[in-house]
Amino acid sequence: MKQLADFLPVLIFFIVYKAQGIYEATAVAIVASVLLIFGQYLWYRRVEPMALVSAALVVVFGGATIWLHDELFIKLKPSLLYALFAGVFLVAQLRGTLIVEKLVGKQLDREIPRPFWQRLNSYWVIFFAFLAVLNLYVAFYFPTDIWVNFKLFGLLGITLAFMLFQGVLIARAAEAHEHVKLGADADHQTKQREP
């Protein structure tokens, strides 16, 4: 439910853009993002830091788009957000904290070794950096109409595919670790029975 709510401003932006244009869509996206933050706070009594950063970027870059009447600012917002995500994941990893492990690992009923989480965290850094560059490419080299379609369908589709890929990797790692653990437990029991 929460992920659907986070997706709502993008969907509203897309719908209003198709009906009215980029500046109206930007204004509505600003309002939707601010309302989403208030809604999160009222519902959960807290706001996710990344949701707050995303909303702040929408307000700042969307505001610049409307004020300066230049759509480039709102087009830069996704790249800045993805670059920020990549930076946060990378800096945290360099400091010994693996964000992916914190977010996903605690939801698993199986333990997975830390080297796997380090590799997975690195994949996310690369993925976010890739999205930042890809968004810039589409923003600068394609018409606004294509960029808006790409923002909704392209970025969402790529992200969903990457998350499915991550899910497969996590499932395989959990299963492999479980087999190793079971094998080690069986060896230990065998050794205890030996005279």
Q: How would you write the chain as a 3-class SS string?
A: CHHHHHHHHHHHHHHHHHHCCHHHHHHHHHHHHHHHHHHHHHHHCCCCHHHHHHHHHHHHHHHHHHHHCCCHHHHHHHHHHHHHHHHHHHHHHHCCCCHHHHHHHHHCCCCCCHHHHHHHHHHHHHHHHHHHHHHHHHHHHCCHHHHHHHHHHHHHHHHHHHHHHHHHHHHHHHHHHHHHHHHHHHHHHHHHHCC
pLDDT in tens, the chain (195 residues): 455 556 788 899 999 999 999 999 999 999 999 998 998 888 888 888 888 888 899 999 999 999 999 999 999 999 999 999 999 999 999 999 999 888 887 777 667 888 999 999 999 999 999 999 999 999 999 999 999 999 999 999 999 999 999 989 988 888 876 655 544 444 445 455 555
pTM here is 0.83
